[in-house]
């Protein structure tokens, strides 16, 4: 009986060994920050990579535990009435070992996951210098974007392919969350604070933007899209809209938004 | 039987049964809300109601009533009341009349929660009640505030009562090292309640002050900050998850030990490492609910590490459970089926929480169906299965009668299968981007098939729960007489007659030197 316990402990050591091997293989495989090369890391690709990695990790642990439990349930089913279990009484040393070793196995796995998560986090939070910076104000129930040259659009964010896009976000009423599932990113926007997110649109195409923070009655209808176009096409559109805006401004007419706003702006905002 | 004897009772067992009846009623109502939501989501676009607010009210009521009206009262109200004095060999709780007050408050709280459906402007603020929406909605936020305050207060006075009871009223010879795991777990849960419930009370009170009295705690245009509420709310509501988790895993320990006829594996590891570890870590992980709110980066990274560390005490408790099966002599009556079901549901739920602990992965997963699927596995259905397991397990002690084994097992399999259909599918479409709290998923028409599958699963699991409740009612009324200890447990509550009389034992019990609640295989 004591031997069985020792075998169990040996198995635990084995598990720790496997984990160390997993660490050794997996950590160099993910070149998150790209060291000194100025290449842009795409957080969405990093997300897919880390998701797969964590999924493999939890699947292995889950299957091990599930199989062990299922085996015990089958193996130690009662063979007759009146029988009682005869699990061994643990010696103090074994009892401590059974607490300490699993603790370190779990902690090792935690730190492995945390280290990779942190690395990816840096990719999400460190925005490349060469970027298009757009201001977003969310409101019930629309996304209102303002480009650096003053061009405004609603519920449609037109961006050039291949250039990182940074959104600086705030809200004029309730909480909203600008969620672009295809780019694996969201961040809340709220009154009184400025938050940001960035993403890297690679290919021309359209991507759904949807609200992920309960914001009111029409929450589920609060959607828009990111339209990625080739850089030349974007520049033509951007310059064209900018010129229109300037001439309209010079003529003294009220500045038209590319799409009309639905709700009035609240006056006071604080930038963080 | 005189109804006044029940309403004005100070007997801990009757108070417990009152808690059970109230919380099962709340469970039924909140379950019907869930089925209505599933019906609404069975097609893209409006299905059974054209009014999104109606759906949002169901969603609010489902969350608030399930957590505050069903799980916490059933686990820390019913089980604690019914089992703890019996498990420690006490005649009653330390303050029986305070105990009666707590159950009355609980009834006031759930009646208030149910009045939601008769108000012209019911609350539609979700169970989280985040401002600014909760302070500008036409929905009745005050109802939410008062429901939370009253149920919270009931819970606090219950906590004081049980901490005192466990400290001072143990039978002679029953040392702390011989307490049932369930008693330790409940002790941990009440410590958490006493520390953290006041914070929740503060948060929801400030919401109503902001909305009705014109203060500006959460209004940034007048110097407030919307994030303050979320911090206060989750500073309670994350520990609340452990207030649910600890008692339910305690119930599972009692059941697994009894039906494996085996001593709890590594008792001290479970108590100090598992329960102690959870109580210590519970208050340091709330920021993982705020990963996408623009909190300071150092907090989001720091609490990613503490959140992942929760896997240590929780993992030790799972090892303790699986170890209790080792070299046991396992039989598979209904309570044991539910308990083993919890083990598997909790395994899935716990492990799918690992990606959610990682700040960067959560930037995609947060507020999607993945989160909803995860917390239903790990807390909602695992907790509910435990409550059903526990009610089946102590049913003979409560009523002196036996439920029907066939229908018990049938109910279990239906709920188990239905649960996995619903919540596995939910996690799957969540990873693909389906956001939560959507009345209409017209931007995600590709998920219509998955939603229909979930609706089907919800019906199956609903039928399973219904069978269980009917089984109890029929069993309590005319089941066969059960005997004092039908499961052959060593734990103290099975040594008295079923149902136990007022005062629990004809003469006060004391325990032998070599006795402990799990002393199987030696006698």
Average pLDDT taken over every residue of chain B: 93
In whole angstroms, give the CA distance from residue A56 to residue A48.
12
A248 or B452, higher pLDDT: B452
Strand partners, A165: A132, A199
Model pLDDT, residue A34: 44
Model pLDDT, residue A4: 57
Is the torsion defined by CA of B28, B98, B201, B190 positive or negative? Answer: negative
Instruction: With cut-offs at 50, 70 and 90, classify the pLDDT of residue B277.
Output: very high
Asked whether the predicted pLDDT for residue A234 surpasses 50, the reply is yes
DSSP code at position B489: -
Q: How much is the average pLDDT of A202-223?
A: 95
A81 or B288, higher pLDDT: B288
In whole angstroms, give the CA distance from residue B511 to residue A50.
54
In whole angstroms, give the CA distance from residue A2 to residue A10.
12
In whole angstroms, give the CA distance from residue A21 to residue A33.
22
Q: Which of A41, A85, A179 should be substituted to probe chain B, the one whose Cβ sees the most B Cβ atoms within 10 Å?
A: A85
Q: How much is the average pLDDT of B112-133?
A: 88
- Chain B closest-CA separation from residue A248 CA (Å): 32
Q: How much is the average pLDDT of B96-121?
A: 91
Model pLDDT, residue A267: 37
* CA-angle at B174, arms to B168 and B176, nearest 5°: 75
Report how far apart, in Å, the C-alpha atoms of B297 and of each of B222, B358, B360, B446 are: 26, 13, 11, 35
Cis peptide bond N-terminal to A141, omega within 30: yes
Residues 6+ apart with CB under 8 A from A25: none
- Domains contained in chain A, CATH given: 2-125 (no CATH), 132-250 (2.60.40.420)
Model pLDDT, residue B415: 96
Using one digit for the tens of pLDDT, what is the confidence trace for A40-62?
789 999 999 999 999 999 999 99
Q: How much is the average pLDDT of B419-444?
A: 95
Lowest mean pLDDT among A17-31, B333-347, B503-517: A17-31
Instruction: With cut-offs at 50, 70 and 90, classify the pLDDT of residue B521.
Output: confident
Using one digit for the tens of pLDDT, what is the confidence trace for B92-104?
999 999 999 999 9
Q: Which of A51, A79, A192 sits opposite B220 (nearest CB)?
A: A192
In whole angstroms, give the CA distance from residue A76 to residue A92.
25
Tell whether A88 is within 8 A of chain B (Cβ): yes
- Chain B closest-CA separation from residue A68 CA (Å): 8
B522: left (phi over 0), alpha (psi -120 to 50) or beta: alpha
Tell whether B299 is within 8 A of chain A (Cβ): no
Instruction: With cut-offs at 50, 70 and 90, classify the pLDDT of residue B1.
Output: low
Four-CA torsion B180, B186, B187, B190, nearest 10 degrees: -170
Residues 6+ apart with CB under 8 A from A244: none
Asked whether the predicted pLDDT for residue A29 surpasses 80, the reply is no
Model pLDDT, residue A13: 58
Model pLDDT, residue B114: 85
Give the H/E segment covering residue A44.
helix A43-75
| pTM of this structure | 0.91
CATH class of B9-495: mainly alpha
Cis peptide bond N-terminal to B499, omega within 30: yes
Closest by Cα among B150, B75, B152 to B379: B75
Asked whether the predicted pLDDT for residue B143 surpasses 50, the reply is yes
Cβ atoms B89, B500 nearer than 8 A: no
The DSSP line for B124-163 is -STTTT-TTHHHH-SS-HHHHHHHHHHHHHHHHHHHHHHH
Q: Which of A46, A87, A92, A138 should be substituted to probe chain B, the one whose Cβ sees the most B Cβ atoms within 10 Å?
A: A87
Delimit the domains of chain B by residue range: 9-495
Lowest mean pLDDT among A18-27, B167-176, B361-370, B431-440: A18-27
Model pLDDT, residue A30: 46
Instruction: With cut-offs at 50, 70 and 90, classify the pLDDT of residue A266.
Output: very low
- Cβ of A186 and B367 within 8 Å? yes
Report how far apart, in Å, the C-alpha atoms of B408 and of each of B342, B349, B412, B462, B504 are: 16, 24, 6, 14, 28
What is residue A269's three-state secondary structure? coil
Q: How much is the average pLDDT of B124-153?
A: 91
In whole angstroms, give the CA distance from residue B82 to residue A64.
36
- Please report the residues numbered 34 through 53 in chain B whose beta carbons come closer than 8 angstroms to any beta carbon of chain A: 52-53
Model pLDDT, residue B419: 96
Query: In percent, how much of chain B has pLDDT > 70?
Result: 99
Instruction: With cut-offs at 50, 70 and 90, classify the pLDDT of residue A20.
Output: low
Report chain A residues whose CB lies below 8 A from the CB of B322: 65, 68-69, 72
Residue of B nearest to A47 (CA): B361
Report chain B residues whose CB lies below 8 A from the CB of A191: 132, 220-221, 226
In whole angstroms, give the CA distance from residue A136 to residue A146.
6
Model pLDDT, residue A41: 83
Model pLDDT, residue A28: 44
- Cβ of A99 and B273 within 8 Å? yes
Asked whether the predicted pLDDT for residue A16 surpasses 80, the reply is no
Average pLDDT taken over every residue of chain A: 84
Q: How much is the average pLDDT of B124-135?
A: 91
Asked whether the predicted pLDDT for residue B257 surpasses 60, the reply is yes
Asked whether the predicted pLDDT for residue B383 surpasses 90, the reply is yes
Q: How much is the average pLDDT of B131-152?
A: 91
Tell whether B301 is within 8 A of chain A (Cβ): yes
Asked whether the predicted pLDDT for residue A36 surpasses 60, the reply is no
Model pLDDT, residue B27: 96
Query: In percent, how much of chain B has pLDDT > 90?
Result: 88
Asked whether the predicted pLDDT for residue B477 surpasses 70, the reply is yes
Residue with tokens 């009894």, as numbered in its chain: B258
Asked whether the predicted pLDDT for residue A260 surpasses 50, the reply is no
Give the H/E segment covering residue A159.
strand A156-160
Report chain B residues whose CB lies below 8 A from the CB of A268: 220-221
């Amino acid at each position: 009986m004591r031997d069985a316990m020792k075998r169990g402990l040996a198995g635990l050591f084995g598990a720790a060994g496997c984990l160390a091997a997993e660490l050794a293989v997996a950590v160099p495989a993910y070149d998150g920050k790209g060291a000194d090369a100025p290449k842009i890391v795409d957080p969405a690709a990093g997300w897919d990579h880390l998701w797969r990695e964590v999924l493999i990790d939890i699947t292995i642990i889950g299957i091990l535990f599930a199989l062990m439990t299922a085996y015990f349930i089958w193996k130690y089913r009662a063979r007759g009435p009146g029988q009682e279990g005869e699990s061994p009484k643990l010696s103090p040393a074994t009892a401590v070992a059974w607490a300490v070793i699993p603790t370190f196995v779990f902690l090792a796995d935690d730190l492995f996951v945390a280290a990779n998560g942190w690395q990816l986090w840096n990719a999400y939070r460190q925005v490349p210098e060469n970027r298009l910076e757009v201001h977003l104000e969310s409101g019930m129930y629309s996304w209102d974007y303002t480009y650096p040259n003053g061009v405004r659009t609603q519920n449609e964010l037109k961006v050039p392919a291949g250039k990182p896009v940074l959104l600086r976000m705030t809200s004029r009423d309730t909480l909203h969350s600008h969620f672009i599932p295809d780019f694996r990113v969201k961040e809340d926007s709220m009154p009184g604070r400025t938050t940001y997110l960035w993403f890297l649109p690679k290919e021309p195409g359209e991507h759904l933007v949807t609200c992920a923070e309960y914001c009111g009655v029409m929450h589920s209808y609060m959607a828009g899209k990111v339209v990625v176009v080739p850089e030349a096409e974007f520049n033509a559109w951007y310059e064209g809209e900018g010129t229109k805006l300037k001439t309209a401004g010079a003529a003294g007419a009220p500045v038209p938004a590319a799409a009309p706003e639905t709700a009035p702006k609240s006056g006071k905002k604080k930038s963080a | 039987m005189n109804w006044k004897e029940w309403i004005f009772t100070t007997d801990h067992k009757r108070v417990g049964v009152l808690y059970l009846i109230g919380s099962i009623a709340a469970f039924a109502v909140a379950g019907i809300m869930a089925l209505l939501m599933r019906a609404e989501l069975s097609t893209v676009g409006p299905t059974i109601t054209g009014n999104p607010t109606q759906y949002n009210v169901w969603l609010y009521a489902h969350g608030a009533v399930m957590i505050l009206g069903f799980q916490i009262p059933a686990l820390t109200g019913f089980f604690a009341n019914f089992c703890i004095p019996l498990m420690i060999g006490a005649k009653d709780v330390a303050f029986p009349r305070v105990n009666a007050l707590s159950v009355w408050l609980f009834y006031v709280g759930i009646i208030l929660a149910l009045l939601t459906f008769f108000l012209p402007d019911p609350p539609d603020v979700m169970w989280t009640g985040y401002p600014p929406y909760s302070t500008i909605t036409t929905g009745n936020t005050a109802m939410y505030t008062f429901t939370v305050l009253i149920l919270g207060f009931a819970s606090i006075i219950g906590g004081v009562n049980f901490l005192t009871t466990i400290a001072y009223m143990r039978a002679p010879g029953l040392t702390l090292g011989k307490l049932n795991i369930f008693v330790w777990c409940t002790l941990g849960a009440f410590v958490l309640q006493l520390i953290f419930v006041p914070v929740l009370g503060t948060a929801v009170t400030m919401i109503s002050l902001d909305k009705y009295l014109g203060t500006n705690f959460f209004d940034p245009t007048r110097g407030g900050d919307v994030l303050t509420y979320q911090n206060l709310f989750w500073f309670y509501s994350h520990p609340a998850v452990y207030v649910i988790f600890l008692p339910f895993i305690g119930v599972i320990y009692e059941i697994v030990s009894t039906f494996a006829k085996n001593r709890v594996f590594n008792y001290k590891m479970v108590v100090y490492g598992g329960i102690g570890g959870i109580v210590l870590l519970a208050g340091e992980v709330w920021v993982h609910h705020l990963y996408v709110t623009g909190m300071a980066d150092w907090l989001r990274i720091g609490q990613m590490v503490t959140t992942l560390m929760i896997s240590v005490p929780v993992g030790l408790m799972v090892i303790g459970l699986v170890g209790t099966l080792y070299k046991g002599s396992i039989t598979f009556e209904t309570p044991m089926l539910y308990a083993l079901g919890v083990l598997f549901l909790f395994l899935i739920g716990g492990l799918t929480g690992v990606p959610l602990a990682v700040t960067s992965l959560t930037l995609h997963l947060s507020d999607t169906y993945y989160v909803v699927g995860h917390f239903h596995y790990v807390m909602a259905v695992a907790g509910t299965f435990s409550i059903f397991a526990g009610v089946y397990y102590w049913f003979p002690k409560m009523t002196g009668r036996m439920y029907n084994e066939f229908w018990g097992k049938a109910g279990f399999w239906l709920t188990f299968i239905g649960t996995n259909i619903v919540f596995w599918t939910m996690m799957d479409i969540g990873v693909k981007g389906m956001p939560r709290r959507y009345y209409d998923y017209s931007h995600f028409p590709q998920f219509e098939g998955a939603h229909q599958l979930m609706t089907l699963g919800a019906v199956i699991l609903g039928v399973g729960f219904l069978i269980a409740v009917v089984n109890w009612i029929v069993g309590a009324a005319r089941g066969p007489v059960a005997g004092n200890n039908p499961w052959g447990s060593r734990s103290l509550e099975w040594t008295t007659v079923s149902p136990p009389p007022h005062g629990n034992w004809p003469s006060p019990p004391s325990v032998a030197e070599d006795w402990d609640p799990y002393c199987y295989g030696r006698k």
